[in-house]
Amino acid sequence: MSKAKKGKVVSYNKWGYIFLIPFIVVYVTFQLVPLFNTIYWSFFEYYRDGMTQIGPNVVGLSNYIQLFTSTDPNVPTIFDYTWNTLIMWIMGFVPQIVVSLLLGSWFSDNRLRLKCQAFFKTVIYLPNLIMASAMAMLFFTLFSEGGPINSMLMQLGILDEPFKFLYNTLSVRTIVAFMNFLMWFGNTTILLMAGMMGIDASLFEAAEVDGATPTQVFWRITLPLLRPILIYVMITSLIGGLQMFDVPQILTNGTGEPARTSMTLIMFLNKHLFSKNYGLGGALSVILFIITGILSMIVYKFSNNND
């Protein structure tokens, strides 16, 4: 009897494989095969120089070396693009985490009993759903020389003449970072709030009985218990930050102006994809793949420890 039952179970469980077919077939075709193809081309010299097609020739690691070194100090290397990406991520992420922690702790504080919570949550989450490219186009027009921001600052007497926001390294990076902040802090707030609500309420009550101030409760109880979710938020945000593309691409029309100081890694990759430089594009993709792979492993480790 047990044998018959076992046979029955096995015949059902083959359906597990059948239901997995669409995912596996599509994933292998559109993700894994392209990944190996990308890695393959990264060892080749293969691009167009004007009208002549160069390659494909096997060149080993020279594409990678070319990305990391530069003979001309005016030509940026991958380090410069990584720095651009990271600095714009940090400038957006620091205010994002501060504001999110603050709002999250207010929303989840039972003693504050804030009204209109649903309204505020709706408003702060709104920018996350807006098309990043449209938002970047909007900020481009708002901050352009004849745009409303300059016009307002002049009406208020802060500026005498229009400021060229889009031709200054600091202001371009600040605008990009600000947009990233605006688009992501609502999401982070909701994630952190959910984490805070998951903390055992008796801990807060005990602290209150012992006479702890709200500041003490925040630093001594909320923050340490929130550490796993904070690390998760930080690393997923970093992975997202490395993919930063739409906002600076549209804002600077793909040039990374001024002098490529706002050009991110993916914008650089996009340039190679459009000019069909297989070798350099491939090498850059592989480097990005390795970095995100390592970061993903960290996230994976953390979310497994949480179980």
Partner 1 sequence: MASNSSMSLQIEDSKNTGGVKARRVVAYIVLVAISILCLFWFYVLFINSTRSHAELTSGFQALPNFKNFKFVTQFFTNFKNLMAGTLPIWNGLLNSIIVAGSCALLSTYFSTMTAYAIHAYDFKLKKAIFTFILMVMMIPTQVTALGFINLITDMKLDNTFIPLIVPAIAAPATFFYMKQYMESTLPLAIIEAARIDGSGEFRTFNTIVLPMMKPAIAVQAIFTFVQNWNNYFTPALVLKKDKLQTLPILIARLRSADWLKFDMGQVYVMIAFSIFPVIIVYLCLSKFIVSGVALGSVKG
Q: Which of residues 162-181 bind partner 1 (CB under 8 A)?
A: none
Q: By CB under 8 A, how many residues form the interface with partner 1? A: 109
Q: Is residue 27 a contact point for partner 1 (CB under 8 A)? A: yes
Query: Binding to partner 1 (CB under 8 A): which residues in 228-247?
Result: 228-229, 232, 236, 239, 242-243, 245-246
Block residue for tokens 């060229």: 164
Nearest to 281 by CA among 11, 39, 33, 12: 39
| Complex with partner 1: residue 72 or 160, whichever CB lies closer | 160
CA-to-CA distance for 150 and 152, rounded, in angstroms? 5
DSSP letter string, 191-259 = HHHHHHHTS-HHHHHHHHHTT--HHHHIIIIIHHHHHHHHHHHHHHHHHHHHT--HHHHHHTTTS-SST
Query: Binding to partner 1 (CB under 8 A): which residues in 265-294?
Result: 266, 269-270, 272-274, 278, 281-282, 285-286, 288-289, 292-293
CA-to-CA distance for 256 and 87, rounded, in angstroms? 14
Q: Is residue 67 a contact point for partner 1 (CB under 8 A)? A: no
Q: Is residue 7 a contact point for partner 1 (CB under 8 A)? A: no
- Name which position in 139, 165, 204, 268 contacts partner 1 (CB under 8 A): 139
29 burial via Cβ count (<10 Å: 0-12, 13-18, 19+) = exposed
Is residue 40 within 8 A of residue 56, CB to CB? The reply is no
The CB-of-160 to partner 1 minimum distance in angstroms stands at 15
The CB-of-40 to partner 1 minimum distance in angstroms stands at 8
Taking CB under 8 A as the rule, which mask of x and - marks residues 93-132 in contact with partner 1?
Answer: ------x--xx--x----xxxx---x-xxxxxxxx-xxxx
Phi and psi angles of residue 46, each rounded to the nearest 5 degrees, phi first: -160, 95
- Name which position in 54, 90, 94, 134 contacts partner 1 (CB under 8 A): 134
